[in-house]
Amino acid sequence: MVDAYPFIEERLKEIEEMAKGWPQKLKHELHEEHELELTRQHSFICDGCKESGEVWSFYCRECDFDLLPKCALDKDKETKADAKEEGNTKEGWVCDR
């Protein structure tokens, strides 16, 4: 039998390595209602900066709320300022579930 996707195991290791050191769960000021859980996603739109993302998300299943790791972990300091400029403040997000 031919191995149809020989890169999969290597890619999975890369994906796991990417998230090394990140918390499994966290609280964030843009979504104070629930904890966000580190989750693999195929694709999503970040509810913080509105950029598209894939692979890793900090996600609230109950509210369908996603943050890119850079937004959730404050690695990109401009993200919060940009979100506030665009009206995406914590006051703007309401969990209705």
Tell me how many domains the chain contains: 1
18 located within any domain: no
Domain residue limits at 55 = 23-88
| SS3 of residue 40 by DSSP | strand
Do residues 61 and 53 make contact, with C-beta atoms less than 8 angstroms apart? no
Position 79 scores a pLDDT of: 43
Which DSSP category does 92 fall into? G
1 located within any domain: no
94 located within any domain: no
78 located within any domain: yes
47 located within any domain: yes
What is the rounded average pLDDT for all residues in the chain?
81
Please state, in angstroms and rounded to a whole number, the distance separating the CA atoms of residues 30 and 41.
20
Do residues 80 and 90 make contact, with C-beta atoms less than 8 angstroms apart? no
10 located within any domain: no
**pLDDT digits 0-9 by tens, 58-79:** 999 999 999 999 999 985 444 4
Identify the helix (H) or strand (E) that includes residue 17: helix 8-18
42 located within any domain: yes
38 located within any domain: yes
The pTM of this model reads: 0.69
